């Protein structure tokens, strides 16, 4: 009987199978890497804004408290973006003619809100409430990073589900006294001991409840 395939075909077939495995692994690694990259998550990316607002200057430099601008962080799900009137409370007097603040003056004159670009923008299918996190001892820094050192605001964390779950599984590693919520650079002498005590004191739910799908996806 005549041989249909050349003997070398066996070698080619084996090579193709092995190569396919490596190619599939490489594709999977590339997909995972892209999913975790700043291109996908937006982490560490400074987004262009209509006004380049320096957080470090206003917070660490001038000592303006977070609540002066983000007034609803303790009482609502959304931290709140300050209205132009808040900005002009100071800038009617300070830097009142600065070219960089022309969009602020125009907004104040016309009553049209400044079209800020959201830096921390969760997917619509994710439920997040600022007030409950603040009430339970999660500091601003834990999610937003060292805002007092950011010339321009950027997303310090990935905001991916696994990042949220790290805290929901082990809240004792992250919670702090409510009095230190707005303190940047806060470090406890013994976080595990303090956190374990605060979890009970603040009646933080168990990790099983906190990691239940319905907690964040409602």
Domain ranges of the chain: 8-36, 55-81+116-216
Give the pLDDT confidence score for residue 106 in this predicted structure: 97
Longest dimension (CA), the chain: 99
Give the pLDDT confidence score for residue 1 in this predicted structure: 53
Give the pLDDT confidence score for residue 32 in this predicted structure: 76
- Alpha-carbon span 69 to 188, nearest angstrom: 27
- Alpha-carbon span 8 to 79, nearest angstrom: 67
Give the pLDDT confidence score for residue 19 in this predicted structure: 82
Give the pLDDT confidence score for residue 59 in this predicted structure: 95
Q: Where are the beta strands (DSSP E) in 28-143?
A: none
Q: Enumerate the β-bridge partners of residue 43.
A: 155
Calculate helix-pair angle for 102-110, 84-91, nearest 10 degrees. Answer: 120
Residue 5 predicted with pLDDT over 90: no
- Predicted confidence band of residue 14 (pLDDT cuts 50, 70, 90): confident
Tokens of 215: 């907690």
CA angle at 199 for the pair 171 and 130, rounded to the nearest 5°: 60
- Name the least confident of 20-29, 78-87, 96-105, 153-162: 20-29
Give the pLDDT confidence score for residue 156 in this predicted structure: 96
Residue from 70, 77, 205 nearest 129 by CA: 77
Give the pLDDT confidence score for residue 77 in this predicted structure: 93
The reported pTM is 0.82
Q: What does the pLDDT look like over 110-165, one tens digit per residue?
A: 999 999 999 999 989 999 999 999 999 999 999 999 999 999 999 999 999 999 99
Tokens of 39: 């291109």
Give the pLDDT confidence score for residue 132 in this predicted structure: 96
Residue 54 predicted with pLDDT over 80: yes
Give the pLDDT confidence score for residue 152 in this predicted structure: 93
Residue 2 predicted with pLDDT over 60: no
């Amino acid at each position: 009987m005549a041989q249909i395939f050349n003997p070398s075909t066996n070698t080619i077939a084996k090579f193709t199978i092995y190569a396919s495995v490596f190619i599939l692994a490489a594709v999977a690694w590339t997909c995972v890497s892209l999913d975790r990259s700043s291109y996908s998550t937006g982490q560490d990316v400074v987004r262009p804004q209509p006004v380049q607002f320096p957080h470090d200057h206003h917070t660490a430099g001038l000592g303006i408290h977070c609540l002066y601008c983000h007034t609803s962080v303790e009482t609502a799900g959304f931290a709140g973006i300050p209205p132009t009137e808040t900005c002009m409370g100071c800038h009617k007097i300070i830097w009142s003619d600065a070219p960089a603040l022309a969009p602020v003056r125009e907004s104040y004159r016309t009553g049209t809100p400044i079209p800020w670009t959201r830096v921390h923008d969760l997917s619509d299918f994710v439920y997040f409430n600022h007030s409950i996190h603040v009430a339970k001892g999660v500091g601003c820094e834990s999610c937003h990073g060292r805002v007092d050192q950011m010339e321009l605001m950027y997303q310090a964390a990935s905001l991916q589900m696994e990042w949220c779950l790290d805290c929901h599984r082990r809240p004792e590693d992250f919670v702090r006294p409510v009095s230190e919520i707005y303190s940047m650079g806060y470090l406890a002498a013994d976080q595990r001991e303090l956190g374990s005590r605060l979890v009970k004191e603040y009646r933080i739910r168990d990790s099983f409840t906190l990691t239940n799908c319905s907690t964040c996806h409602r």
